[in-house]
């Protein structure tokens, strides 16, 4: 999920856990046992909800650092208590001048921070990028893979929940309603995921693919829009489909629902019985030089082998004695997007015993790593 949506989810969870009535009661108690202001609690949830994405600073150290560290240590369930304690301490210090007792504030802020970080981790887990829940002891990525990275409906439910919570500050039900709607939307996307996997299984059986490797990838605009990949050991069989659609969607036809921009994003996804399957060779079409797989296996390219779920060759070139192979991950390519991100390549050394070199392609320009 995007960082803004994470922050919204943390704020809404804090509103579920704390009401204005509670904070006012605490403010006027003799022991002064809690935070004096509701907005402080919401701010703690907001900060904690956004906090794990602080690991985006890894980009400053290069693409490899970003791919291998993003959604890593700050997204770990094992490290969650430590991060929550740090955020609670920092926020309690920031609010030290208020009537809230710092020690009591820290205790309540800790649980709010833990909730904010936890809901952030859950928000990333439901997407397909993958989250390293067990860092620092394992770099294995976990993910439900049911939600696209940016989902306007999901974010909208959180915004509505926060607006209603502001209108009814003494009640929990607005926050509960917003979060329940967001969870329900995830459930709808999971249903679409199961339908896409069933379609892939039927296709593999019809094609006689004995041991298919199926990957279904969520796409924008609808929980039923999916890119489906069936790998037969050499080629990916790929299609873009909508699991519930019975006829093609014409983006040029005016309609109240869905709105125009949604129709444009959603139009390329065909009904299952009209889906067009494309074969994408993993290591290139027949006649691709054998050195491509040698390039793929280079130790320095291990970061991309670890990261990519559906890697495929884009091109293999030989110039001035240098042999270079460029790869992509089909997870990040979909209709209407143009050139997708995370396109990395490796060049074999021109001389025996030399070191392979790495590069990336952005906007059609080759850049060294």
Cα 111 to chain centroid, rounded: 25
Residue 252: predicted pLDDT: 72
Residue 29: predicted pLDDT: 44
pLDDT tens digits, one per residue of 205-262:
999 999 899 999 999 999 999 999 999 999 999 999 999 999 988 777 766 666 677 7
pLDDT tens digits, one per residue of 35-76:
458 889 999 999 999 999 999 999 999 999 999 999 999 999
Q: What is the mean pLDDT of residues 310-336?
A: 91
* pLDDT surpasses 50 at 27: no
Question: How far is residue 207 from each of residues 171, 202, 235, 349, measured CA to CA in Å?
Answer: 56, 9, 13, 40
* pLDDT surpasses 50 at 5: yes
Residues 6+ apart with CB under 8 A from 41: 14, 17, 18, 23, 35, 108, 109, 112
Query: What's the whole-number average pLDDT of the chain?
Result: 90
* pLDDT surpasses 80 at 88: yes
Are the C-beta atoms of 79 and 123 separated by less than 8 Å? Answer: no
Nearest residue to 7 (alpha-carbon basis) of 113, 135, 84: 113
pLDDT tens digits, one per residue of 115-125:
999 999 999 99
SS (H, E, C) the chain: CCHHHHHHHHHHHHHHHCCHHHHHHHHCCCCCCCCCCHHHHHHHHHHHHHHHHHHHHHHHHCHHHHHHHCCCHHHCCCCHHHHHHHHHHHHHHHCCCCCCCHHHHHHHHHHHHHHHHHHHHHHHHCECCCECCCCCCCCCCECCCCECCCCHHHHHHHHHHHHHHHHCCCCCHHHHHHHHHHHHHHHHHHHHHHHHHHHHHHHHHHHCCCCCEEEEEECCCCCCEEEEEEECCCEEEEEEEECCCCCCCCCCCCCCCCCHHHHHHHCCCEEHHHCCCEEEECCCCCCCCCHHHHHHCCHHHHHHHHHCCCEEEEEEEEECCEEEEEEEEHHHCCCCCCCCCCCEEEEECCCCCCCCEEEEEECCEEEEC
* pLDDT surpasses 90 at 144: yes
Residue 200: predicted pLDDT: 97
């Amino acid at each position: 999920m995007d960082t803004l949506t994470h922050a919204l989810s943390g704020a809404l969870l804090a509103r579920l856990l704390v009401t204005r009535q509670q904070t006012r009661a605490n403010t006027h108690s003799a022991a002064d046992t809690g935070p004096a202001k509701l907005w402080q609690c919401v701010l703690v949830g907001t900060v904690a909800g956004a906090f794990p994405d602080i690991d985006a600073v890894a980009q400053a150290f290069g693409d490899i650092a970003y791919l291998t560290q993003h959604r890593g240590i700050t997204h770990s369930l094992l490290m969650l208590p430590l991060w929550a304690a740090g955020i609670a301490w920092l926020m309690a210090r920031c609010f030290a001048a208020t009537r809230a007792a710092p020690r009591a504030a820290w205790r309540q802020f800790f649980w709010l921070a833990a909730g904010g970080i936890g809901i952030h981790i859950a928000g990333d887990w439901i997407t397909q990028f993958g989250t390293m829940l067990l860092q620092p002891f394992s770099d294995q990525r976990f993910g439900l893979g049911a939600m696209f990275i940016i989902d306007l409906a999901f974010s909208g439910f959180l915004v509505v929940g926060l607006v209603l919570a502001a209108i009814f500050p003494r009640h929990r039900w607005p926050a509960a309603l917003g979060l329940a709607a967001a969870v329900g939307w995830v459930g709808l996307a999971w249903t679409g995921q199961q339908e896409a996997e069933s379609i892939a299984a039927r296709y593999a059986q019809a094609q006689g693919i004995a041991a298919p490797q199926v990957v279904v990838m969520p796409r924008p605009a609808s929980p039923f829009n999916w890119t489906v990949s069936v790998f037969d050991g050499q080629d990916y069989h790929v299609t873009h489909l909508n699991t519930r659609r019975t006829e093609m969607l014409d983006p040029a036809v005016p309609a109240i629902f869905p709105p125009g921009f949604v129709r444009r994003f959603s139009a390329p996804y065909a009904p299952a019985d009209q889906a067009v399957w494309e074969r994408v060779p993993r290591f290139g079409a027949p006649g691709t030089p054998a050195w491509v797989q040698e390039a793929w296996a280079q130790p320095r390219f291990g970061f991309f082998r670890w990261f990519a779920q559906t890697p495929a060759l884009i091109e293999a070139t030989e110039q001035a004695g240098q042999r270079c192979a460029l790869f992509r991950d089909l997870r990040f390519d979909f209709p209407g997007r143009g050139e997708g991100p995370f396109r990395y390549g490796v060049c074999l050394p021109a001389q025996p015993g030399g070191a392979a070199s790495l590069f990336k392609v952005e906007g059609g320009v080759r850049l060294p790593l």
